[in-house]
Amino acid sequence: MKRLIAPSILSANFGNLAKDIEMINNSDADWIHVDVMDGVFVPNISFGFPIIKYVKKLAKKPLDVHLMIVQPEKYITRFKEVGADILTVHLEASPHLHRTIQAIKSQNMKAGVVLNPHSNVSLLEDILPDLDLVLLMSVNPGYGGQSFIENTYDKLEQLAKLKAKRNPNLLIEIDGGVDLSNASTLFNKGANVLVAGNTVFSSDDPANTIQLLKSK
């Protein structure tokens, strides 16, 4: 089973972003996780198109763009233009999710849906066959460095069962509070992609931490 690591640049050093992207390029990381926050859907603002364009210029790995914004369907083409390879939208921000997913795929990006901690996995049952990816938030979105919500394990088990029934090729991604103590349980319960911000960028040797997470 696939085991991928996606370091989140939300915790990178924006005073020298090129250095952190280079570290990711030379590490065992598989994707670069890019958190876009609008200050409306979540109580924080991160960064937008110019930064993503810059990251894309330097990146040797796919950009996994996580939209924490209202009306994400308005900006699908723009995110494609600045270099998104995978685009994920929140269920909670997408009343016409099916249409939005088709629009992402029509731009030749992988399409994913994100669930906040309170949203039940069963809400995805009908859309699951259309998805490349489901991202389970294991913290409330908005900030890096928060503690992992334990209920995520139950949600992951439910989603793994649904995946077996409805879409065996689906990738399951976990985002928030991932560290060296929970990575192996998450992989063993069916996670394919682990996002890690604080754990990677606050460590003394980020590339080594990526390798350790991956080998869990």
Interaction with ligand DX5 in 167-186: which residues (CB under 6 A)? 175-178
Q: Which is nearer to ligand DX5, 100 or 182 (CB)?
A: 182
Burial of 71 (0-12, 13-18, 19+ CB in 10 A): middle
Q: Measure the CA–CA gap between 39 and 42, rounded to whole angstroms.
A: 5
Q: Which is nearer to ligand DX5, 100 or 152 (CB)?
A: 152
142 binds ligand DX5 (CB under 6 A): yes
**Which DSSP symbol is given to 140?**
-
Which active-site residues does the annotation give? Answer: 35, 175
How is residue 170 written in tokens? 């689906």
Shortest distance, position 198 Cβ to Zn ion, whole Å: 12
Q: Which is nearer to ligand DX5, 33 or 163 (CB)?
A: 33
Interaction with ligand DX5 in 55-74: which residues (CB under 6 A)? 66
Which of 123, 64, 47, 127 is CA-nearest to residue 92? 123
φ, ψ for residue 103 (rounded to 5)? -65, -40
CA angle 111, 63, 199 (to 5 degrees): 110
Q: Is the Cβ–Cβ distance between 189 and 157 less than 8 Å?
A: yes
- 92 interface partner picked from Zn ion, ligand DX5, none, CB below 5 to 8 A per type: none
Q: Which of 29, 121, 195, 213 binds ligand DX5 (CB under 6 A)?
A: 195
Q: Which is nearer to ligand DX5, 83 or 176 (CB)?
A: 176
Shortest distance, position 149 Cβ to ligand DX5, whole Å: 11
C-alpha torsion 111→71→123→9, nearest 10: 50
Interaction with ligand DX5 in 72-101: which residues (CB under 6 A)? none
Q: How many residues are recorded in the chain? A: 216
Q: Measure the CA–CA gap between 131 and 212, rounded to whole angstroms.
A: 29
- 142 interface partner picked from ligand DX5, Zn ion, none, CB below 5 to 8 A per type: ligand DX5
List contacts with ligand DX5 (CB under 6 A): 8, 10-11, 33, 35, 66, 139, 141-142, 144-146, 175-178, 195-199
